Amino acid sequence: MTDTETLHLTVRIARPAAFVYRYTAEPTHLPAWAHGLGDTVEQVDGAWVAHSGLLGRVTVTFTPENDLGVLDHYVTFPTGETVHNPIRVIPYGDDRCELVFTLRRPPGTTDAEFAKDAETVAADLARLRDLLENEGPRDRPRE
């Protein structure tokens, strides 16, 4: 693996880390906040498939449920290329947390493309924060 540029995008959410983890770990919630990944998500033959006009049909594989706040996922594009997206929910006191998304610059990505990817991820994280803080999810995370 060659070294690539890495950018850590962070958002603070005024909700407990366990709540944010449970909501964010549920694949069916992705369309509500992760517009950069897809407009819809469904389970097809045991795999989670997201559909987006921008990316096409992508398969998303999630890290198993854990107590560490790890929400990593792997996105496999129609080309067969797979990208690992590390995400962490980090407690920040009892009633707040930080969500950190590590964006890695793929080889051959232009400055403009990488900046656009970062902008998309930042917008998704802000949407998640706003959903969980202000509106509250319509469908509560499982306890």
More confident residue, 42 or 4: 42
pLDDT of residue 13: 97
Distance CA 37, CA 46 (A): 19
Tokens of 53: 């006009």
Q: Do 13 and 99 meet the contact criterion of CB atoms below 8 Å apart?
A: yes
pLDDT of residue 143: 46
Q: How confident is the model at residue 141 (pLDDT cuts 50, 70, 90)?
A: low
Percent residues over pLDDT 70 in the chain: 91
pLDDT of residue 137: 57
Q: Which H or E run includes 90?
A: strand 87-91
Domains of the chain: 6-135 (3.30.530.20)
Q: What is the pTM of this model?
A: 0.86
